[in-house]
């Protein structure tokens, strides 16, 4: 699959690396990219240009791509690119990053957007290290908000470090669905032991989030409450 990604910031590069690791072809477009950024994803092709200009998209051979990803930090640019990709170049699938939740309503088929991604706090925070270890981060909510996926990074010195997943009495309606360790996802079993630094991904209900935080990283929750 050939994927064109506009926006070579931390989000765009992260997406590119994952796609390349899965064997796809990736072209990154960014008018401000430099040699340092390019060296971070050397396996990708690069085009230094404005992704909102037709000439740049023609040079990128956008019409030959299977997916166009608008991953810039500018919602207007992401909308324009998605519209051009659909209407001018006939790209089969467009994925657009939503930076400001207030703009999410515009990211639909009328603007050429097939999939709108409200960049979760987790996506940027884990890359930019803006979330403290032990913070509970809501990644997204499922339909009607009855369940959500959340992430907690197990702090150093946690009482759960070394404990088996099956030995923990998790809150009601809470399931540990994945462990990310050393940037690799693991499907947890009851016999797997957790380690400090593990990113724990849970499916839970909104009313159980505080209890989950108190269970896994109580010190962080108390600090957050005190700071508020």
Residue 143: per-residue pLDDT: 57
Topology annotation, domain 2-119: Rossmann fold (3.40.50)
Nearest to 78 by CA among 112, 102, 48: 112
CA–CA separation, 34 vs 37, rounded Å?
5
What length does the chain have?
Answer: 228
Residue 18: per-residue pLDDT: 76
pTM over 0.75? The answer is: no
If one counts every other C-beta atom within 10 angstroms of the C-beta of residue 184, the result is 7
CATH 3.30.70.1450 residue ranges for the chain: 124-227
CATH 3.40.50.720 residue ranges for the chain: 2-119
Pick the CATH number of 124-227 from 3.30.70.1450, 2.30.22.10, 3.40.50.2300, 3.30.1330.40: 3.30.70.1450
Per-residue pLDDT averaged across 53-80, rounded? Answer: 94
Residue 123: per-residue pLDDT: 38
Residue 132: per-residue pLDDT: 54
Per-residue pLDDT averaged across 172-184, rounded? Answer: 89
Q: Name the more confident of 45 and 228.
A: 45
State the Rg of the chain over Cα. 20
Q: Name the more confident of 4 and 13.
A: 4
Q: How confident is residue 80, by pLDDT bands cut at 50, 70 and 90? A: very high
Per-residue pLDDT averaged across 213-223, rounded? Answer: 69
Residue 14: per-residue pLDDT: 81
3-state secondary structure of 3: strand
CA–CA separation, 178 vs 175, rounded Å?
9
Residue 136: per-residue pLDDT: 74
Per-residue pLDDT averaged across 71-88, rounded? Answer: 95
Q: How confident is residue 7, by pLDDT bands cut at 50, 70 and 90? A: very high
Does 144 score more than 80 pLDDT? no
Query: Quick check: 120 and 101 in contact, CB under 8 A?
Result: no
* 3-state percent helix, strand, coil for the chain, nearest multiple of 5: 35, 25, 40
Residue 24: per-residue pLDDT: 85
Per-residue pLDDT averaged across 189-208, rounded? Answer: 92
Per-residue pLDDT reduced to its tens digit, 31-44 = 887 766 778 888 99
Write 119-128 long-range contacts (CB < 8 A, 24+): 119/11, 122/151, 123/11, 123/14, 124/10, 124/11, 126/199, 127/10, 127/11, 127/14, 128/10
Percent with pLDDT over 70 in the chain: 84
Does 52 score more than 90 pLDDT? yes
Looking at the DSSP bridge assignments, the partners of residue 95 are 69, 115
Per-residue pLDDT averaged across 10-39, rounded? Answer: 82
Q: Name the more confident of 23 and 112.
A: 112
Q: What is the mean pLDDT of the chain?
A: 83
């Amino acid at each position: 699959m050939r994927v064109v990604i506009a926006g070579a910031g931390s989000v765009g590069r992260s997406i590119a690396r994952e796609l390349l690791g899965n064997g796809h072809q990736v072209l990154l477009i960014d008018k401000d990219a430099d040699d340092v950024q390019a060296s971070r994803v050397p396996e990708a092709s690069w085009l230094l240009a404005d992704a909102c200009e037709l000439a740049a998209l023609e040079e990128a051979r956008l019409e030959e791509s299977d997916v166009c990803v608008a991953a810039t930090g500018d919602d207007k640019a992401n909308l324009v690119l998605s519209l051009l990709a659909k209407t001018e170049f006939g790209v089969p699938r467009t994925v657009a990053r939503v930076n400001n939740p207030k703009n999410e309503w515009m990211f639909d088929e009328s603007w050429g957007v097939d999939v709108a991604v409200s960049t979760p706090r987790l996506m940027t925070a884990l890359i930019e290290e803006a979330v403290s270890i032990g913070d509970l981060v809501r990644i997204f909510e499922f339909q009607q908000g009855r369940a959500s996926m959340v992430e907690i990074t197990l702090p150093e010195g946690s009482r759960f470090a070394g404990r088996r997943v099956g030995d923990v009495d998790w809150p009601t309606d809470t399931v540990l669905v994945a462990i990310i360790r050393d940037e690799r996802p693991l499907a947890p079993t009851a016999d797997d032991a957790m380690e400090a630094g593990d990113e724990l991904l849970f499916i839970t209900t909104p009313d159980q989030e505080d209890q989950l935080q108190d269970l896994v990283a109580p010190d962080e929750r108390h600090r957050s409450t005190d700071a508020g």
